Amino acid sequence: MLVSQSVLRNFTKNIFLAMGCSIEHATLAADVLLQADLRGIDSHGVARLVGYVRLWESKRINANPNITIVHETPTTATVDGDAGLGLVVAPFAMRLAIQKAEQYGSGWVSVRNSNHFGIAGYHSLLAVEKDMIGFAMTNASPLVAPTYSNERLLGTNPMCYAFPAGKYPPVVVDMATSAAANGKLEIAQRAGKPVPEGWIQDAEGNYTTDPHALKSGGSLLPLGGDKEHGSHKGFGLSATVDILSAVLSGANYGPWVPPFVAFLQPPADPVGLGIGHFVGAMRVDGFRPIDEFKAHLDNWISRFKSAQTVDPDQKVIIPGEPELEAEADRKVNGIPLVDAVVEDLNGLAEKFGIAPLAP
């Protein structure tokens, strides 16, 4: 089904309102999810809505959080999300980072007691709108084994860096630190297709191309796949995300991160509160006049876009470009939803007594 973004946005907002979110939080949370759907990152958009509702039903998401700053200096802070939606807690943290950057040049906020924050790019781009460089990362439910291990100890722990350009759109590096994000695995599962070697291993630690291997004790592999191809680097990046997001804020880390799914209980021996994020903003003009920076970043983009390629029909892709192409298309033509997602959403509509989705 193709649904216009305004219809889907309104529907999503109504679900959050029905959960008891304030109008401000419901609008913001819907905006974060819709940006994922618009940008083509379907695994992080409204497809997750039913997951948020289930966590709220099992009292693991607080629809009316009292988000507080528990510690701060002029340019750093720790925020407690009061078990709220990461979709509203992370923008709170990023606005705080931006305020600090406006005054002192940079601002950095580590967040505890939060939940899944949607796409990292949304939060980083809040800084880019202010001519700042945006950083956003989060830890997540453990699915990834460190190099040499077959134990799931880390999430897909994404990191995102976003930079404002001039005539070109922003450069947005937004990536899971695993070889493949879980969303890609789900696509292969639905399609009944094998995945490439180097994405996952089975319970014994052998490479497998079975996209269902996670269900039988397998694990995702860090970016790099194996040691010879640099998986210790993917592990190191994932560790960095975990430490900045959770060891620094007082959230749960490693295997203690609570699972995103309501049917799995969080570990009985938590080492912190909820999941953790880390966001930051730096004023570009804290280093160099913004126009000079943008002119040089445009030159950088232009040089890479015109790079010689192995296949002349396949150009080099600037980080963030595919998402912008999806957005341009979907704003006009609507957002495609697979049947299973439409079914989930209309199940929610029925639960809350609101009108179902129509194309």
Which residues in the 281-300 window bind a second copy by CB under 8 A? 282-284, 286-288, 292-293, 296-297, 299-300
Among 167, 190, 303, 351, binds a second copy (CB under 8 A): 303
- Regarding 5 and contact with a second copy (CB under 8 A), the answer is no
Choose between 20 and 74: whose C-beta lies nearer to a second copy.
Answer: 74
β partners of residue 220: 144, 200
CA gap 199, 246 in Å, rounded = 25
User: Does the footprint of a second copy cover residue 168 (CB under 8 A)?
Assistant: no
Phi-psi region of 164 (alpha: psi -120 to 50; beta: other; left: phi over 0): beta
CA 38 to chain centre: 14
Position among 85, 127, 143, 153 found at the interface with a second copy (CB under 8 A): 153
* DSSP result, 315-354: PPPPTTHHHHHHHHHHHHH-EE--HHHHHHHHHHHHHHT-
- Whichever of 270 and 356 has its CB closer to a second copy, that residue is 270
Work out how close the CB of 73 gets to a second copy at its nearest, in angstroms, rounded to a whole number: 3
Q: Is 194 in the site for a second copy (CB under 8 A)?
A: no
43: Cβ–Cβ under 8 A, 6 or more apart, which residues?
A: 36, 181, 182, 183, 186
130 sits near a second copy (criterion: CB under 8 A): no
Distance CA 101, CA 48 (A): 32
Encoded tokens for 331: 């704003």
Per CB under 8 A, 163 contacts a second copy: yes
Per-residue b or e along 237-266, where b marks 16 or more CB atoms closer than 10 Å to that residue's CB: bbbebbbbbbbbbbbbbbebbbbbebeeee
Which of these segments, 10-18, 36-44, 277-285, 351-359, binds a second copy (CB under 8 A)? 277-285
Alpha-carbon radius of gyration of the chain: 20
Subset of residues 315 to 344 that bind a second copy, contact rule: CB under 8 A? 315-317, 319
Nearer to a second copy, 7 or 187 (CB): 187
Q: Which of 51, 169, 205, 334 binds a second copy (CB under 8 A)?
A: 205
Site residues for a second copy, 67-126, by CB under 8 A, read 71-78, 104-106, 108, 110
What whole-number distance in Å separates Cα of residue 4 and Cα of residue 124? 25
Q: How far is the CB of 329 from a second copy (least distance, A)?
A: 20
Quick note: the x/- pattern for a second copy over 38-77, rule CB under 8 A, is ---------------------------------xxxxxxx
Q: Out of 88, 239, 273, 279, point to the residue binding a second copy (CB under 8 A).
A: 239
